[in-house]
Amino acid sequence: MGVTRVSARRRTAIVITVVIVIALLAGLAAAAWALAPIILPQLQTSVVETTRTEEVRRDGHTASIDVPAGWSVQREGDDVPRIVVRTPDTRVAITVEIVASAPAVAVDASGVVGLGPLARESVSSGAPLVHAETADTLVAAVGGTDSSASARVIAAAPADTLTTYRVEIAHLLDTVRVVS
For the chain, give every domain's residue range.
1-43, 46-179
Q: What is the pLDDT along the chain (180 residues), one digit of tens a residue?
A: 455 566 878 888 888 999 999 999 998 888 878 776 666 555 566 777 888 888 888 888 888 889 998 898 887 766 667 888 888 888 888 889 888 888 888 888 787 888 888 888 888 888 888 888 888 888 888 887 676 788 888 998 887 888 888 889 899 899 988 887
Amino acid at 112: V
- DSSP for 80-107 reads -SEEEEE-TTS--EEEEEEESS-HHHHH
The pTM for the full model equals: 0.72
| Spatial contact of 72 and 83, defined as CB atoms under 8 Å apart | no
| Spatial contact of 97 and 142, defined as CB atoms under 8 Å apart | no
Provide the edge-to-edge strand list for the sheet that holds 52-58: 52-58, 61-67, 177-179
- CA 94, chain centre distance (Å): 8
What is the pLDDT, as a whole number, of residue 164?
86
Q: For domain 46-179, is the CATH number 3.40.1000.10?
A: yes
